[in-house]
């Protein structure tokens, strides 16, 4: 035994005698993780979060979260002698006087953008492959929670520097709070410690941004990961993969090296982009004052859809008995986002209600094999995308020399018309792809080789698929629709007839597929 | 249905294909060298980072294609850090992919549902625990506990009351009073009509009260006014609103009636005011009537007059609250 082994052994012995960790470690070091590029998306989100914690901690050493007015006398000459908040002045100091400060600010901001991109794309992966199905509904809801908190955390973060752009964002947030019926103006005065902008808001959102929300994030991420660990990762269908097993690489050493290495890659790439690409140059915007604004005011991308909804809202307000209800703010700012996120969180339960499927699922769906789900996803994405485009309508109008009013009308009509079209097209594409899978299994792959037969006929050679590929294309389930009785045996309408009818209809739509290859089809081909 | 026999049977996991480095010691040695080189590149990155921190002053700019003038200190600091991190990652992944075992492993899953026995046992224990505490029987304890827990939850809410004052008339009142002089922002100089040419725009604030040298931001957020001069015949106003203008000069609250952004874009040709936040468009000639966008109300108009010295003053306070809507707003 070498000296090193002896020391390691002693340490391990010391810990194990006090915790019994060896048994747990033995089991979990061999934990198996399936390998697929799309499983890295959640990892990117996790690593971006760690990068945010590290870079954010650095920034707090110099940032002064105060709206106390100071006269700027720092290195950046164009703003010399201007009145500004201490928050803005200290952000200028971080950018110009702390070595590496600007780099850290840019790493922090880029990492925040990547964090949100990774969350959204990870969510799309989980959605379109059906990874949210039993037993993973809890984790889906935690994920939706993380997405929602991420949007809030990002907004609070870029509001902290108190520049002209972010101050305008806070003004809009204040208007949304103020628009809440009955209690709105009270809530706004509580949040801002008086009339907008006051001197209380930045210090308050600072503590929410650096302590309260990160603590909630840490707790939710921990539970999210523990559930992934405990429930074992889902896997894509393929040869040897079943609902009862998990095929992949063991944690120690392969997965540790790959995942650990990937953390450094994500950190490295984020740092590279932060080094070469400027982001949020707050010194160009100037300090916030409510009487000024810069043209082309844009939120960060993950808020853009919300701003786009607000922009396209019709000018509706009701005046009742001396009170005002601002539909033009409430509908796009609170009601639609509320419906969107509630629908997102409840989707697993809605789907399982429609299919009547209460079994565990560990094999992922190929999106084409769940046409209805894929089409609903495409519909939701189209809705959000139209809203996002409208959030940049001023920039688009300027860059492409278009009329801003026309873009607005495109969005107002498009947000209602385009999502259903996206649904129909996506569903048809999915079913066509299923049909093409069926063709491939029955007739093989077109090789492009033309052969002339002795009697003069030209035929194209079709190459038979490998057994692995055939298995992949035929192993998915195709369950028929639920058929729920509206009338019971005695011929009486059931109390739940309407609900059953609705559920049967939705289930039928859900079960619409191109039938996959059956044994009968194969036999016919063979006898042909 | 689902349990029908599949037409094609599962061929099982395909046979493992060995990599070059698994069989050829030369290839394995080469892979080892590659990993070492990648890790060494990371070391070089850290050296670049330290060098940039110590030796490149933060006021040196270099010109780069596409990026233009770039701060050399920040750039090389960032590149050094990026390389030092990136190559550790790439090295580790290359190591895992070429030299670590790549045999796929299969393990079995287990159903999460507990066994019937465990579930029964759990229900029994839970029921016994509840029975031992007597919650079911002692309803007096249950109810009083429920009440006290509910009430104790109120205390943090009560404590939050002092987060801010009540709005009072703060949302409906501005600093503009009858006779308040209009002053430039910035500069705080009073304005005569001849200071504004036809077509000109100016941002103004109410004159500071004596003894104050400073506009509070929360005052600017309500008081900011936009002064625009047109030819008097260009107005399309009713008699009252026309009397609020002075020699073609008209004044509107600059705070958007939609969400409170500064309505700062003025199109001289069309005489439209545009809010850059949500593109609400107001017609200056028709008392800031909403032409487009989400705003539901015109911008409030400020009545103008001249004082004895010929400076522009407010004839009266705003006749309605400025800025975004709120519940207590009456129209």
B73 to chain A, any CB pair closer than 8 A? The answer is yes
pLDDT, tens digit, 9 for 90 and up, residues B219-264: 999 999 999 999 999 999 999 999 999 999 999 999 999 999 999 9
* Per-residue pLDDT at A192: 96
Q: What is the pLDDT of residues A432-453, one digit of tens each?
A: 999 999 999 998 998 889 999 9
Non-local CB neighbours of B203 within 8 Å, separated by 6+ positions: A291, A292, B184, B185, B224, B225, B226, B227, B254
Residue A489, pLDDT score: 81
- Residue B2 pLDDT > 60, yes or no? no
**Tally of CB atoms within 10 A around A131:** 23
CB proximity under 8 Å: A 359-418 to B: 360, 362, 393-394, 404-405, 408
The continuous run of DSSP H or E covering B204 comes out as strand B201-206
User: Which of the four CATH numbers 1.20.810.10, 3.40.50.720, 2.60.120.10, 3.40.50.300 does domain A32-349 have?
Assistant: 1.20.810.10
Q: What does the pLDDT look like over B88-126, one tens digit per residue?
A: 999 999 999 999 988 888 999 988 899 999 999 999 999
pLDDT of residue A306: 96
Return the bridge partners of A404, or none. Answer: none
- Residue A413: predicted pLDDT: 97
Written as six digits, the tokens of B300 are: 């409030």
The Cα-based distances of B82 to A196, A230, B294 in angstroms read: 41, 34, 45
pLDDT at residue A457, as a whole number = 92
Query: Greater confidence, B9 or A334?
Result: A334
Q: What is the pLDDT of residue B313?
A: 95
Average pLDDT over residues B127-138: 84
Each residue of A373-421: pLDDT tens digit? 999 999 999 999 999 999 999 999 999 999 999 999 999 999 999 999 9
For residue B213, is pLDDT > 80?
yes
Q: Which one of A50, A288, A324, A480 makes the best mutation probe of the B interface by having the most chain B beta carbons within 10 Å?
A: A324
**A contacts of B226 (beta carbons < 8 Å):** none
**What pLDDT, on a 0 to 100 scale, did the predictor assign at position A523?**
82
Q: Which residue positions in chain A have pLDDT lower than 70?
A: 528
Q: Which of A71, A104, A172, A195 to mutate to test the interface with B (most CBs of B within 10 A)?
A: A195
3-state secondary structure of A275: helix
Q: Are A131 and A47 in contact (CB under 8 A)?
A: no
Return d(Cα A367, Cα B329) in angstroms, integer. 51
Average pLDDT, chain B: 92
Residue A71 has phi, psi (to 5 degrees) of -100, 125
Residues of chain B contacting residue A193, judged by C-beta atoms under 8 Å apart: 163-165
Helices (H), B115-234: 116-133, 139-152, 154-159, 217-223
* CA distance linking residue A11 with residue A259, whole number of Å: 26
**Residue A402: cis peptide before it, omega within 30 degrees of 0:** no
DSSP classification of residue A32: E
Token pair for B54: 């110590």
pLDDT band at B320; cut points 50, 70, 90: very high
Residue A474 tokens, joined: 């035929």
Chain A residues whose CB is inside 8 A of the B91 CB are 261
Contact A239 B91 (CB under 8 A): no
Chain B residue with the nearest C-alpha to that of A361: B111
Give the end-to-end CA distance of chain B in Å, rounded to a whole number.
63
Best of A183, A290, A314 to mutate (most B CBs within 10 Å, chain B)? A290
What is the rounded CA–CA span in Å between residue A246 and residue A234? 8
Predicted local confidence at residue A528, as pLDDT: 64
Of B5, B164, B327, the CB nearest to A181: B327
Identify the bridge partners of residue B273 per DSSP, sorted by sequence position. B266, B282
Strands (E), A35-120: 69-71, 83-85
Tokens at residue A345, please?
A: 């969180």
Residue B3 has pLDDT above 80, yes or no: no
pLDDT value at residue B181: 94
B92, B105, B278: residue with CB nearest A310? B278
pLDDT at B131 over 90: no
- Contact assignment for B109 to A276 by CB distance below 8 Å: no
Which residues from A are below 8 Å from B205, CB to CB?
291
**For residues A313 and B330, which has the higher predicted lDDT (pLDDT)?**
A313
Residue with tokens 């063979």: A526
Of A178, A267, A313, the CB nearest to B294: A313
Distance of alpha carbon B112 from alpha carbon A20, whole angstroms:
24
Q: Which residues pair with B183 in a beta bridge?
A: B190, B205
Pairwise CB contact (< 8 Å): B254 & A312:
no
Q: Cβ–Cβ of B296/A288 closer than 8 Å?
A: no
Most confident range (mean pLDDT) of A14-23, A200-209, B177-186, B195-204 is: A200-209
Of B328, B326, B316, B266, the C-alpha closest to B296 is B326
Domain ranges of chain A: 32-349, 366-478+513-528
User: How does DSSP assign A307-318, residue by residue?
Assistant: HHHHHHS----E
Mean predicted confidence (pLDDT) in B304-308: 94
By C-alpha distance, the chain B residue nearest A31 is: B107
Give the pLDDT confidence score for residue A492 in this predicted structure. 83
Read out DSSP for B214-226?
---HHHHHHH-EE
Helix (H) or strand (E) segment spanning residue A356: none
- Asked if residue B65 has pLDDT above 90, the reply is no
pLDDT at A526: 76
Q: Which residues of B touch A405 (CB under 8 A)?
A: 292
Taking an 8 Å cut-off on Cβ atoms, the answer to whether A103 and B74 are in contact is yes
């Amino acid at each position: 035994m070498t000296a090193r082994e002896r020391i390691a052994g002693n340490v391990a012995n010391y810990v194990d005698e006090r915790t019994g960790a060896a048994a747990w470690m033995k089991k979990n070091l061999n934990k198996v993780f399936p390998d697929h590029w799309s499983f890295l998306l959640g990892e990117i989100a996790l690593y971006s979060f760690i990068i945010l914690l590290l870079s954010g901690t650095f920034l707090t050493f110099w940032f002064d979260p105060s709206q106390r007015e100071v006269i700027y006398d720092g290195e950046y000459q164009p703003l010399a002698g201007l009145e500004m908040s201490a928050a803005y002045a200290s952000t200028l100091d971080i950018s110009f006087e702390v070595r590496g400060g600007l780099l850290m600010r840019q790493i922090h901001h880029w990492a925040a953008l990547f964090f949100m991109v990774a969350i959204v794309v990870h969510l799309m992966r989980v959605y379109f492959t059906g990874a949210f199905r039993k037993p993973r509904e809890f984790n889906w809801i935690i994920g939706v929670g993380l997405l929602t908190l991420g949007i809030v955390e990002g907004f609070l973060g870029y509001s902290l520097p108190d520049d002209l752009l972010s101050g305008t964002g806070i003004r809009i947030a204040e208007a949304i709070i103020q628009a809440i019926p009955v209690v709105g103006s009270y809530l706004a005065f509580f949040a801002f410690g008086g009339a907008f902008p006051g001197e209380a808001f930045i210090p308050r959102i600072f503590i929410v941004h650096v302590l309260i929300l990160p603590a909630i994030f840490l707790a939710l991420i921990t539970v999210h990961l523990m559930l992934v660990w405990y429930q074992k990762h889902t896997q894509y269908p393929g040869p040897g993969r079943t609902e009862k097993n998990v095929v992949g690489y063991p944690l120690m050493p392969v997965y540790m090296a790959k995942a650990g290495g990937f953390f450094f890659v994500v950190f490295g790439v984020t740092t590279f982009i932060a080094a070469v690409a400027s982001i949020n140059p707050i010194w160009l915007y100037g300090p916030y004052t409510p009487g000024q604004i810069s043209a082309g005011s844009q939120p960060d991308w993950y808020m853009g859809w919300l701003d786009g909804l607000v922009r396209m809202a019709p000018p509706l307000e009701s005046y009742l008995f001396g009170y005002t209800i601002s539909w033009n703010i409430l509908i796009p700012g609170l009601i639609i986002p509320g419906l969107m996120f509630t629908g997102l969180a409840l989707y697993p339960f809605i789907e399982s209600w429609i299919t009547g499927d209460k079994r565990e699922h560990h094999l992922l769906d190929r999106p084409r094999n769940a046409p209805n789900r894929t089409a609903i996803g495409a519909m939701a994405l189209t809705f959000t995308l139209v809203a996002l485009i409208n959030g940049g309508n001023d920039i688009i109008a300027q860059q492409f020399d278009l009329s801003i009013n026309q873009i607005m009308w495109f969005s107002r009509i498009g947000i209602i018309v385009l999502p259903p079209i996206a649904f129909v097209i996506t569903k048809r594409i999915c079913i066509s792809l299923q049909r093409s899978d069926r063709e491939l299994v029955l007739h093989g792959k077109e090789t492009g080789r033309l052969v002339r037969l002795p009697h003069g006929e030209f035929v194209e050679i079709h190459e038979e698929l490998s057994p692995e590929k055939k298995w992949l294309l035929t192993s998915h389930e195709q369950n028929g629709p639920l058929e729920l009785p509206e009338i019971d045996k005695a011929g009486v309408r059931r109390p739940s007839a309407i609900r059953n009818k609705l559920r049967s209809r939705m289930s039928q739509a859900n079960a619409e597929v191109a039938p996959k290859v059956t044994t009968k089809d194969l036999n016919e081909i063979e006898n042909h | 249905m689902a349990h029908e026999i599949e037409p094609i049977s599962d061929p099982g996991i395909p046979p493992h294909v060995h990599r070059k480095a698994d069989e050829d010691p030369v290839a394995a040695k080469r892979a080892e060298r590659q990993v070492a080189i990648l890790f060494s590149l990371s070391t070089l990155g850290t050296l670049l980072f330290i060098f940039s921190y110590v030796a490149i002053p933060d006021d040196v700019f270099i010109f780069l294609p596409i990026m233009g003038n770039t701060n050399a200190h920040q750039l090389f600091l960032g590149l050094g850090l990026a390389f030092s991190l990136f190559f550790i990652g790439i090295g580790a992944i290359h190591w895992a992919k070429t030299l670590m075992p790549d045999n796929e492993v299969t393990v079995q899953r287990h159903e999460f549902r507990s066994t019937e026995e465990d579930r029964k046992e759990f229900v029994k224990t839970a029921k016994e625990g509840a029975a031992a505490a007597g919650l079911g029987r002692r309803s007096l304890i249950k109810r009083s506990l429920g009440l006290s827990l509910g009430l104790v939850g109120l205390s943090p809410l009560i404590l939050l009351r002092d987060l801010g004052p009540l709005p009072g008339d703060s949302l409906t009142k501005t600093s503009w009073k009858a006779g308040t002089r209009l002053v430039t922002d910035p500069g705080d100089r009073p304005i005569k009509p001849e200071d504004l040419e036809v077509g000109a725009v100016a941002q103004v604030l109410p004159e500071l009260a004596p003894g104050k040298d400073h506009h509070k931001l929360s005052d600017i957020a309500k008081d900011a006014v936009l002064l625009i001069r047109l030819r008097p015949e260009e107005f399309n106003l009713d008699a009252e609103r026309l009397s609020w203008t002075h020699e073609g000069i008209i004044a509107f609250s600059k705070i958007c009636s939609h969400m409170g952004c500064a309505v700062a874009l003025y199109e001289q040709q069309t005489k439209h005011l545009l809010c850059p936040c949500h593109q609400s468009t107001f017609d200056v000639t028709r008392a800031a009537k909403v032409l487009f966008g989400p705003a539901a109300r015109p911008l409030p108009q400020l009545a103008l007059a001249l004082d004895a010295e010929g400076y522009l003053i407010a004839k009266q306070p705003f006749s309605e609250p400025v800025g975004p809507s709120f519940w207590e707003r009456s129209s």
